[in-house]
Structure 1
Amino acid sequence: MRKNFCCILTLCLVTLFGLSANAQVVEDSTASKKSKLSFSGYIDAFYFANLNNPLSRKNTGNAGVERAFDQRAGQFQVGLVQTKMTYSTDKLEAVADLTFGNNADLGNYGNLVGPLGPGSTALAIKQAYLTYKPTEKLSFTMGQFNTHIGYEVIESYANYNYSLSNLFNNGPFYHVGIKANLAVSDRFGLMLGAVNGVDNLYDNNKAKGIIGQVFVSPAEGWNVYLNWIGSNESSAGKDSTGYFSLFDLTTTYQVTEKFFVGMNAAYGTQKGDYQGATPFYDKPQSWGGVALYSNVAFTDFAGIGIRAEYFDNTSGVRFLRNNLADTGTDVFSFTITPNFTLADGLLMLKPELRIDSFKKIAGAGNEGLQQFEDKDGNFTKNSQTTIGMAAIFKF
């Protein structure tokens, strides 16, 4: 009897464990079909010294827009805190990308007062969009998303240089609208969309901006992006024919496993008033520039990147200006940024040296109208050199 009981107990246990194992297989199979929720983000902090020792302790120069984010000198700063949540399935992706800090405020460019007044929570949204993928090659995205234009992005860990180019600073940061992406093949793709204009939460007139992109990969490791945005940015009731247009070419090439090069070139025009600002331009005015990039990896944990950029706004239509009768200007910038990756890839250190050089404003009486401030608070410098380091934690 005891022997029979032991046999029955053994059989029950085997059956129970077998059912449990089968249930686990079914559960794992079901879980694999469920959507995946991921959470990521980063924190960056930096310190930059300005060798001009400006009295105001700022890197922004006379016109106030010479640097995109790293605008203060001789001060420890928190750049950005990002929290990004992504929920994805085979057919759907939802992204909520929230940012806080100095760079988040500056990245909202043109929307200093939100829909609920100063301090509106809308200003914390960097991205918030839904993407539906009816097929593997076709997707539709609607909401607020990063711009497709340019080489550099707001996320500091994704750029080799820490400070941002003038091309980045004068191009769009984000769009609110809808777009369609078609991946014709691994080496050719198209994007087309309609948005609320340039860096606008709300459109300032009835016309919508049109965005587009053509992607081509001519060879292994070589990517080319031709980007465009065209939009009526004139304020309602002033000029229905005003127009903003920007063509942007971005290309990258992985020359060897350790050597990488890139280029960003842009050409834009404006007519009318730009989002209600003065002056008013009866004829299209142009601006543009080119930036060259080169990165070398010495080891898996250390490398160096160089950026050389020329930006031309002599027409005065964009935001890089000098103090002589509030006219436009041009600038040459050179940046060297070593990169070190520590703590199993979680921590990035980016020491950086950058030189911004403007043409000297000649003529008697213009000695105090140069681009940059000296230690006495006078604008007697036509160039500035900054040196410092950023620390970035990415998770």
Structure 2
Amino acid sequence: MSSEGVLGTWRLARIIIGLTCAIAGTQTRLAAQEAAPPAAPPAVPRPDPDPFRHIRFGVTLEGYYQWNANQPYDRISLLRAYDTRANTFGLQQTALIIESATDVAAGRRFGARVDLQFGQATAVLQGSPANEPRPELYRNLWQAYGTYVFPVGRGLQTDFGKFASSLGYETNYARDDHHFSRAYLFNFLPYYHAGLRVSLPVHDRLTLMYMLTNGIQQTEEFNDFKSSHVAAVVTPAKGVSWTVNYYAGQEQPDNGAPGGPDGFFRVLDTYVTWMATPALTLALDVNHTTSEVRQADEALATTGLGAYVRYQLARPFALAVRYEYLDDEGLFGGIDQQLQELTATCEYRLADGFLVRGEYRRDWSNQPYFTSAVPGELRRAQDTLTAGLVWWFGNKSGPW
């Protein structure tokens, strides 16, 4: 065969080999494409079928009739927080709670809560012009704060807004307390603060809290000093909860001028609750408060103690007793005196949402203090009988 024939044969062989490789590669790619599953389309966010499922609400109404043995001429029962009107039907408070609680496990780190309040309680609970520059703006806004849980440790919860004070054992809502009337310490200690609050559970049995606020009963500030509050909640054993609070702030208005009063208001408050049995609850609240107008002044002090016992009889009956002692240099009652009160309450829960409390309470002092039927004639004691009615409903569970 000539060289030209060999060359032609070689060219033909190369063409055949090239076509064979191309066909084989195409078949390999097709087989791979057939074997690989098709790419999934991008996920389309689905709308939440129930965007309000995490919303909780509660409504409560507290009414009463109170008889005061002193028959005070002005029909006012002194040293009471909410049940202030004697020998009359009264609407202590009605409140609406709307809350979107955080749920880190479900991916929701933010939340908010609003409590609206109406009735006699707003006249006492909301600050007055003495310490709240514009109290009427916030008269019916008991609480309003937003929450975010930062991924720090076990979850650093941060609240901003207006919130209830943690000073004192008792709470704002009668359904969560042992008695219908509120304690001296509830009435004396701050009801609320406005500012920033952070809390961090550092252990299964220990939670720490810090607040930086305008002051006591101050939704708006009346001086340039911000008050601090530190607290620890300890559960040393099953059924035992112990809270320790320390608060310090300057609670005198400066009237917008430099060189105003620089005295401090300090509170050391601690309370412990022990559920001795499923039916028996014991609690103790100890408090020491001092206040001065200027730091150079001698501070006035009030020292108090409250003891609580509640026993759940065969449902729906419960009995509760509270005793308090206050050595008051005038911070609470306005005069230097020693105050005591004893309250005995019988509770009958007609339904899960309605209870009745019959209550006997005796307040007494070592000084003539309580008003009588004759203006200007003061007595050392005050005895009252109260029938309290409490309704509530909603899907909010647990203490309010």
TM category (shorter chain) comes to 0.7 to 0.9
- Determine whether 1:290 maps to 2:305: yes
8 Å CA contact retained: 2:132, 2:220: no
8 Å CA contact retained: 1:259, 1:294: yes
- CA distance in 2: counterparts of 1:241 and 1:380, whole angstroms: 36
Could you list the per-position Cα deviations for residues 24-61 of structure 1 after superposition, in whole angstroms to 9, with x for gaps in the alignment?
xx98x94478761122120110011011122222212x
Q: Choose the corresponding residue for 1:383, options 376, 381, 384.
A: 381
Cross-structure match for 1:336: 344
- CA distance in 1: counterparts of 2:144 and 2:371, whole angstroms: 40
8 Å CA contact retained: 2:102, 2:147: no
- CA distance in 2: counterparts of 1:89 and 1:100, whole angstroms: 27
The alignment's C-alpha RMSD in Å is: 2.2
Could you list the per-position Cα deviations for residues 155-184 of structure 1 after superposition, in whole angstroms to 9, with x for gaps in the alignment?
111111111111111100000000110011
- CA distance in 2: counterparts of 1:285 and 1:374, whole angstroms: 28
- CA distance in 2: counterparts of 1:282 and 1:111, whole angstroms: 24
Could you list the per-position Cα deviations for residues 4-39 of structure 1 after superposition, in whole angstroms to 9, with x for gaps in the alignment?
xxxxxxxxxxxxxxxxxxxxxx98x94478761122
Instruction: State the structure with more CA Rg.
Output: 2
The two structures have a TM-score, normalised by structure 2, of 0.80
Q: Choose the corresponding residue for 1:88, options 91, 101, 109.
A: 101
8 Å CA contact retained: 1:348, 1:391: yes
SS of the equivalent of 1:272 reads coil
- CA distance in 1: counterparts of 2:305 and 2:291, whole angstroms: 19
Q: Which amino acid aligns with 1:320?
A: G
144-153 or 48-57: bigger deviation: 48-57
Counterparts of residues 164-203 of structure 1 (less than 5 Å): 164-203=182-221
8 Å CA contact retained: 2:198, 2:210: yes
Q: Which amino acid aligns with 2:303?
A: G
Q: Choose the corresponding residue for 1:272, options 284, 293, 299.
A: 293
8 Å CA contact retained: 1:167, 1:288: no
Q: Choose the corresponding residue for 2:227, options 194, 209, 215.
A: 209
8 Å CA contact retained: 2:273, 2:282: yes
For residue 221 of structure 1, report the CA deviation from its aligned partner: 0.3
Q: Which amino acid aligns with 1:49?
A: W
- Determine whether 1:355 maps to 2:376: no
Counterparts of residues 122-141 of structure 1 (less than 5 Å): 122-135=138-151, 136-141=154-159
- Determine whether 1:78 maps to 2:91: yes
8 Å CA contact retained: 1:181, 1:190: yes
36-45 or 138-147: bigger deviation: 36-45
Q: Which amino acid aligns with 2:364?
A: S
8 Å CA contact retained: 2:323, 2:342: yes
8 Å CA contact retained: 2:102, 2:149: no
- CA distance in 2: counterparts of 1:210 and 1:283, whole angstroms: 22
8 Å CA contact retained: 1:50, 1:59: yes
SS of the equivalent of 1:106 reads helix
Change (3 A) 1:67 1:88: closer
Cross-structure match for 1:154: 172
- CA distance in 2: counterparts of 1:105 and 1:240, whole angstroms: 27
For residue 299 of structure 1, report the CA deviation from its aligned partner: 1.9
SS of the equivalent of 1:283 reads coil
- CA distance in 1: counterparts of 2:130 and 2:290, whole angstroms: 25
For residue 201 of structure 1, report the CA deviation from its aligned partner: 1.5
8 Å CA contact retained: 2:291, 2:299: yes
For residue 67 of structure 1, report the CA deviation from its aligned partner: 1.4
The two structures have a TM-score, normalised by structure 1, of 0.81
Unaligned runs of 5+ in 1: 1-25, 61-65, 274-279, 322-326, 361-369
Cross-structure match for 1:4: none
8 Å CA contact retained: 1:187, 1:216: yes
- CA distance in 2: counterparts of 1:291 and 1:113, whole angstroms: 27
Could you list the per-position Cα deviations for residues 288-335 of structure 1 after superposition, in whole angstroms to 9, with x for gaps in the alignment?
20000000000231101100000111x22x1313xxxxx321201000
Unaligned runs of 5+ in 2: 1-44, 104-108, 394-400
Change (3 A) 1:55 1:259: same
For residue 372 of structure 1, report the CA deviation from its aligned partner: 1.8
- CA distance in 2: counterparts of 1:45 and 1:298, whole angstroms: 24
- CA distance in 2: counterparts of 1:70 and 1:35, whole angstroms: 36
